[in-house]
Amino acid sequence: MMRFLGQQYGTVAVQPGRRQSHRDRRGGGRGLALLSAVNTAIAAQIGLVYMLARDGEIPRCSSG
């Protein structure tokens, strides 16, 4: 849906010859923002698990 809206409003705001490059730049920017958000979430999860393990709040695994 966001891509469709971007294409529709991008064609109005940008000159006809520059439409595709404008969409490519916008898509690249969104891709980088998404990659950054995923990286931040993974780093936060690793930090949380590390802190819980260090404080002894994670139960030990029972092998059996």
Residue 42 domain-assigned (yes or no): yes
Residue 48 domain-assigned (yes or no): yes
Residue 49 domain-assigned (yes or no): yes
Residue 5 domain-assigned (yes or no): no
Measured CA to CA in angstroms, residue 26 lies from 10, 22, 30, 46, 56 at distances of: 10, 6, 6, 31, 45
* Number of domains observed in the structure of the chain: 1
Domain that holds residue 52: 29-56
d(CA 57, CA 38): 26
Q: Amino acid letter at 64?
A: G
Per-residue confidence (pLDDT) for residue 13, from 0 to 100: 60
d(CA 57, CA 2): 42
Its pTM stands at 0.54
**pLDDT (tens digit per residue) in 6-56:** 777 666 665 555 666 777 778 888 888 999 999 999 999 999 999 998 998
Residue 6 domain-assigned (yes or no): no
Closest CA to 35 of 23, 47, 43: 43
Residue 50 domain-assigned (yes or no): yes
Residue 11 domain-assigned (yes or no): no
